Amino acid sequence: MNRSLYDIPLKSIDGKDTSLGEFQGKVALIVNVASKCGLTPQYEGLEKTYERYQDRDFVVLGFPCNDFGAQEPGSESEIQDFCSSNFGVKFPMFGKLNVNSQPRHPLYAALIEAQPAAEPSSNGGLRDKLAQHKLLPKEDSDVMWNFEKFLISRDGQVIGRFAPDTPPDDPKLLKAIEAALAA
């Protein structure tokens, strides 16, 4: 990766210029999120995981995206209201961005380059369902759907990638988070 994840320009959910720089030194779980997806209830688990580990320098970072089935059509303020009122989300949220569509946001270009394949979920049901409906992404390295998760080490390295249907409390994911926190 030519450029640090911490230097990539981003917008916060309230439209302010920002970056991941303020999270340097923390373990982060970057998740592309959507409000009208069958996986949307994962917000609750993501918030619980954030609360469970935040005192150990862990953070969940939510990136709304409308690339998958147009399941995030709302404005940033609508997204923020939805997340806080329905799921009590307190972890940092960012402005909508393109994950697979062009132009792909530089953050996701860097994440995918660093970790080209997601670890499949234990049931694999989502991949099968997307294939059945001809909704799998064009490239194998593309993000499969909403709620794909990238695990970032304290030094900004992408150390894991988990399929969208891997729930936030999946033992595999929690073990990876705990290993990163212990490193």
List the one residue out of 64, 174, 75, 165 whose CA is nearest residue 121: 165
Q: Which of 131, 65, 75, 125 is nearest to 100 (CA)?
A: 65
Beta pairing class for 17-18 and 149-152: unpaired
Active site (annotated) includes residue 83: no
Q: How far is CA 27 from CA 46, 134, 159, 169, in A?
A: 14, 35, 10, 16
CA angle 115, 119, 80 (to 5 degrees): 75
If you write DSSP's letter for every residue of 117-149 in order, what string do you get? SPBPPSS-HHHHHHHHTT-S-SSTTS--STT-E
Which burial class, exposed, middle or buried, applies to 125 when counting CB atoms under 10 A from its CB (0-12, 13-18, 19+)?
exposed
Token pair in block for residue 153: 């080490």
Catalytic residue, from 4, 6, 36, 37: name it.
37
- How far is the C-alpha of 93 from the C-alpha of 89, rounded, in Å? 9
Q: Which residues are known to be catalytic?
A: 37
